[in-house]
Each structure stands twice: as structure tokens, then as C-alpha cells.
């Protein structure tokens, strides 16, 4: 294999971010093609990048590409992505596949990669976004200093798989886990409520279990929001593209007279009431898609490249993904089938518009 890895991107919807990541790493990767059903958008990107557009997987082999980024819906959510990944692995082509995936399919892909001497890796995308990666690192450090007593996690069903991966990384593992559905979602109640525990830590999960069938990713009320409660304070991830906030706990010391709020020697009184870890300033969604999300893909690609060069085909993330698949399946059985909903009206509002009563 040459220093530059020849790569084909399969799927051009979310695959656009993979294209951006590959082009930013042009000393390590060489884009050699795009695979799709032949949509006008895929033709546009193939022409723009001066690469062939493939529509027949039988025409792709190791003479053409070393690696494939499979960004097509996986079998478990009604797509052909996993079947495509398996076909490519059988050809000895390394595969980076976008989440989610069924446990048995994941294990099959690992076995095929081993049999045909190539690398397979699942990409959960969101943990590499700066706010989330920062949240994960801070959560790991918190566990060394404080006792985590409770977790509240909210997400849409669309991004439940990466939510589980985020929690697994933040808590240094998921096992053991248990869940119980407290309230189902319906057309009028978007979020179901699940009680349980992960890694022996109590958790409450609010999951928007609704899907709009024609443009599903346009009708999510949120991506990820997580709060970790400890005996020292609360760590809050406001959103996948938001901020991380630390709120130290309130401490009221009682002296021989009464509750004291202003003891000179009380170190708690010298703590800020909250601290914000802002990993990038507020940007337009345009920049988020053009730069920041591509940066997450770039991190995944760089990790893949390094491990490939070092022939590290199985890594420490492999076992965690196995557990993520198991938890995802368990939660899926608990919350049940997603409720089909109609699209709803959204308005592009800034905070100033809301404060001033301005309407679009």
C-alpha cells in the first residue's frame, strides 16, 4: 500500500462530510471515486472532485481502492450499507462505516476483516465533535475526584446509538446495564422515559421516539443533551454542538450559632457559581457543516490511517462498540417501534428575535 490511501466514498448524503475530511487530509488519503445510485448530487460531486462515479460494486476492487467509507444506511435501519461493507471486506478493502449497526452484523464484519486481512471500523461520529470529546474527557476526570450519583440523558431515536457510545466513553464502560420503560411516546408526547442504570450508575433517559418517514433527520427536537450529577457538582453538555458547563455544588456550613453563608475560611465560597467550557464560539450552521463536522470526520480518518499503517486492525474501541450494540438493542426493545409523525413548521429564530418579539 502506498503512503496515500486510495479511498472511495459510498453515499453522498452524510458522505459529503467524509469527502471534506478526506480532502483536508490529501497527504494521507487520495479520493479515487464516489459510489451511489447515480443521483444528480453524486454526479455533481464526482465532477467537482474529478473522480469517477461508480454505481456497480462489482467494478470496485483492490486495484482501484485500498479503503472505502460506507456512509449508506445500514441493514438494521433499512439500508444496504452493511451488505456493501461485507462485500468490500471480502475483496480485501478496508472499511470505515458510519453507525448504527446490528450486533451480529458488526461481529460478522470484524470476522470478515480478520479473514481477508483488512481493517473494519465503525464510526459513531459525534464523540469526535469538540464539545462532546471535551465532555467525555472532563467526565473521566470527574470520576477520579467525585462520586457520580445520577445521569440524565436526552436524545432523539436517530442518534441513540452514538449517545450510548458517548456514555460508554465518558463512564469508562457500560456494563452492567438495565432499563425499564416508564412512559411510551406517542404523536402528542415526543419523548419516552426510560429508567435504569449504566455501569452501576442510575440513569434516566428521555428519547424522542418519533420519525417523520420522508425527511426524518429534519424533525429531531434535539441531538444529545447530558447531565452528570456528582457529590461535588453537575457537569452539563448543553447539546452536541453546544457548551459544557460545570456547576459546583452549594455547600452551607453550620457553625455553633446558625447556618453561615459568609465564612472567611470556606473554600466553597471562592468557587464560581458556574464555569463554561466553550470549545468554539457560536458559529452559523453554515460553518458548522462546512468546517466543524468535517473536522470530526477528519479525526476518525486520522485514527484509521495511523492504525492501518501500524497494522492495528483491532483496537480498544472494538469491545465498547460490541457493548454499545447490545445496549442499543436492549433499549430498542424497551422503547418499542418509533411513532410516525407528520412534518411540522419550524422558524429560523435568534435569541434576539425571541426577546424582541420579532417574527419571521
Say which CATH architecture domain 127-289+330-339 belongs to: 2-Layer Sandwich (3.30)
Q: How far apart are CA 307 and CA 317, in angstroms?
A: 12
Give the CATH class of 5-123. alpha beta
Instruction: Please tell me which residue, 14 or 252, carries the higher pLDDT value.
Output: 14
- The pLDDT tens digits of the residues spanning 189-216 come to 999 999 999 999 999 999 999 999 999 8
Backbone angles phi, psi at 194, to 5 degrees: -120, 125
Does the structure show a pLDDT above 70 at 180? yes
Q: Quick one: pLDDT at residue 282?
A: 84
Does the structure show a pLDDT above 80 at 91? yes
Q: How far apart are CA 57 and CA 201, in angstroms?
A: 45
Backbone angles phi, psi at 341, to 5 degrees: -130, 165
Question: Where in the chain is CATH 3.40.50.720?
Answer: 5-123
Q: How far apart are CA 348 and CA 360, in angstroms?
A: 7
Indicate the average pLDDT of the chain. 93
Residue 280 — pLDDT band, cuts 50, 70, 90?
confident
Q: Quick one: pLDDT at residue 315?
A: 79
Residue 314 burial (10 A CB sphere; 0-12, 13-18, 19+): middle
Nearest to 245 by CA among 159, 146, 167, 134: 134
Backbone angles phi, psi at 259, to 5 degrees: -65, 135
DSSP 212-236: -SSSGGG--S-SEEEEEEESSEEEE
Question: Where in the chain is CATH 3.30.360.10?
Answer: 127-289+330-339
> ∠ CA(139), CA(145), CA(146), 5° rounding?
75
Mean pLDDT of 238-260: 81
Q: Quick one: pLDDT at residue 183?
A: 98
Mean pLDDT of 101-130: 97
Mean pLDDT of 278-293: 88
> What is the pTM for the complete model shown?
0.95
Q: Quick one: pLDDT at residue 332?
A: 96
Residue 281 — pLDDT band, cuts 50, 70, 90?
confident
Q: Quick one: pLDDT at residue 40?
A: 94
Reported residue count of the chain is 360
Does the structure show a pLDDT above 80 at 126? yes
Nearest to 67 by CA among 301, 297, 293: 301
C-alpha cell at 28: 494521507
Amino acid at each position: 500500500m502506498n503512503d496515500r490511501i486510495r479511498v472511495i466514498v459510498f453515499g453522498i448524503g452524510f458522505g459529503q462530510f467524509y469527502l471534506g475530511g478526506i480532502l483536508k487530509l490529501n497527504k494521507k488519503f487520495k479520493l479515487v471515486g464516489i459510489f451511489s445510485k447515480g443521483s444528480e448530487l453524486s454526479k455533481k460531486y464526482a465532477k467537482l472532485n474529478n473522480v469517477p462515479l461508480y454505481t456497480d460494486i462489482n467494478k470496485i476492487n483492490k486495484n482501484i481502492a485500498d479503503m472505502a467509507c460506507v456512509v449508506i444506511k445500514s441493514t438494521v435501519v433499512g439500508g444496504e450499507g452493511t451488505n456493501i461493507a461485507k462485500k468490500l471486506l471480502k475483496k480485501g478493502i478496508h472499511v470505515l462505516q458510519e453507525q448504527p449497526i446490528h450486533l451480529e452484523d458488526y461481529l460478522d464484519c470484524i470476522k470478515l476483516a480478520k479473514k481477508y486481512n483488512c481493517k473494519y471500523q465503525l464510526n459513531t461520529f459525534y464523540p469526535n465533535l469538540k464539545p462532546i470529546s471535551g465532555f467525555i474527557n472532563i467526565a473521566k476526570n470527574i470520576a477520579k475526584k467525585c462520586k457520580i450519583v445520577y445521569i440524565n440523558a436526552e436524545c432523539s431515536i436517530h442518534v441513540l446509538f452514538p449517545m450510548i457510545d458517548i456514555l460508554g466513553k465518558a463512564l469508562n464502560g457500560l456494563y452492567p446495564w438495565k432499563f425499564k420503560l416508564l412512559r411510551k411516546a406517542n404523536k402528542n408526547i415526543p419523548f419516552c422515559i426510560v429508567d435504569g442504570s449504566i455501569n452501576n450508575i442510575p440513569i434516566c433517559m428521555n428519547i424522542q421516539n418519533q420519525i417523520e418517514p420522508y425527511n426524518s433527520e429534519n424533525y429531531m427536537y434535539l441531538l444529545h443533551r447530558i447531565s452528570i450529577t456528582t457529590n461535588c457538582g453537575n457537569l452539563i453538555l448543553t447539546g452536541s454542538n453546544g457548551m459544557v458547563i460545570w456547576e459546583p455544588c452549594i455547600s452551607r456550613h453550620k457553625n455553633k450559632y446558625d447556618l453561615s453563608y459568609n465564612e472567611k475560611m470556606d473554600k466553597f465560597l471562592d468557587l464560581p457559581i458556574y464555569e463554561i467550557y466553550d470549545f468554539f464560539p457560536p458559529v452559523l450552521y453554515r460553518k458548522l457543516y462546512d468546517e466543524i463536522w468535517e473536522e470530526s470526520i477528519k479525526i476518525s480518518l486520522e485514527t484509521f490511517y495511523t492504525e492501518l499503517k501500524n497494522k492495528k486492525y483491532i483496537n480498544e474501541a472494538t469491545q465498547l462498540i460490541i457493548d454499545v450494540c447490545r445496549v442499543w438493542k436492549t433499549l430498542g426493545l424497551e422503547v418499542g417501534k418509533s411513532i410516525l409523525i407528520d412534518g411540522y413548521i419550524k422558524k429560523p429564530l435568534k435569541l434576539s428575535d425571541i426577546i424582541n418579539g420579532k417574527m419571521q
